[in-house]
Amino acid sequence: MSPREPAPLPAAFSDLPFGAADLRRAGVSVERTRRADLRRVSQGLHRAREAERGEWADLGYPVDPLPWVPEEAAAVVPLTGGVVSHLSALLLHRLTVPPWVRPDGRLHVSRRHGRGVCDRSGVVTHGRSVPQEDVVALHGIAVTSVERTWLDLASLMPRGPVDPLVIAGDALVNRPWIAGDGRRGEPVTSVEALRAALRRAGRFKGVRAARGALDLVRVGADSPPETELRLALVDAGLPEPELQVSGDPGDRFAPVADLGYRDWRLALQYDGGHHRSREQQARDARRDGWFHDRGWRSLRLTADDRLDGFRRAIAWVRRHRP
């Protein structure tokens, strides 16, 4: 063996990241990390340069949620002394990132107060304790639960209406349609689970916003515009509409309105982008005809109404309420 050739690493270090303590336990000098066949992953963490690296795309992520590939992130996070949270948790859970939160390419972690800031490069520290009940494992990485992540979103929200937080909450508790199946799947979480996480969280920046938003979260909104429409009607002083209103609860084949007032026989439908297809437009026409034939009034709303704050819907409900 040439004096310039590095000593071979133990088999355990041929693929995954390792630290200086790992080397010492294996009887290998930490000087070994200076050789060209290794690369630095983060402070005190190295990996064989030729090791096959995983990709977030292979796990179904359209963008990388963390600044390290999955197996390297799983090695870095414990070294921070924290739990992945806030923006990083939003991305790991594949939740929608609201417009006021800008991805910054860094790892966000929560550490309990008193532990100080993690000085590791590329890491943002949030001084908040996280109960064990609010920690889950994703791809071998400790991350705040969906419920706790929603609460942390409240701490990032600017002052103002809580509508964006309600939209995020509605999405979490909704039963989504299963593509190509015609049935609904299970929700990500429940209102009760969100409330339990709020009780455990104690006092934090944004707790009032979280409480106010949670009181407005409902099951049944299939899209953000449906939540916005519901909130617009309530803010206008009208009674809160029902969500996913069946024209006839006794008939499982009866069409369903996105929102409505059953006692007043008023049905509101928000037509998103998927309603542009010829097939969907035909289904919409049959749906509206079904409601009309049974004495319901129907109103179809579009993105233009959304941009206008749903003023047309508010005026329509006021005009037709008893």
Q: What are the structural domains, with CATH classification, of the chain?
A: 11-48 (no CATH), 58-155 (no CATH), 222-322 (3.40.960.10)
Backbone angles phi, psi at 61, to 5 degrees: -90, 125
Look at phi and psi of residue 212 and say left if phi exceeds 0, alpha if psi is from -120 to 50, else beta.
Answer: alpha
313 pLDDT above the threshold of 50 = yes
The whole-number pLDDT of residue 117 equals 80
Q: What is the pLDDT of residues 123-176, one digit of tens each?
A: 999 999 999 999 999 999 999 999 999 999 999 988 878 999 999 999 999 998
Selection from 11-20, 30-39, 107-116, 249-258 with the highest mean pLDDT: 249-258
Backbone angles phi, psi at 166, to 5 degrees: -65, -40
Backbone angles phi, psi at 70, to 5 degrees: -50, -50
278 pLDDT above the threshold of 90 = no
The whole-number pLDDT of residue 1 equals 47
Q: What average pLDDT does the structure give for the chain?
A: 92
The whole-number pLDDT of residue 4 equals 63
Q: Which of 6-20, 89-103, 212-226 has the lowest mean pLDDT?
A: 6-20
Interatomic CA distance for residues 132 and 134, integer angstroms: 5
Is pTM beyond 0.75? Reply is: yes
DSSP string, 170-232: HHHHS-PBPTTTSSB---S--HHHHHHHHHHH-S-TTHHHHHHHHTT--TT--SHHHHHHHHH
Q: Are 189 and 146 in contact (CB under 8 A)?
A: yes
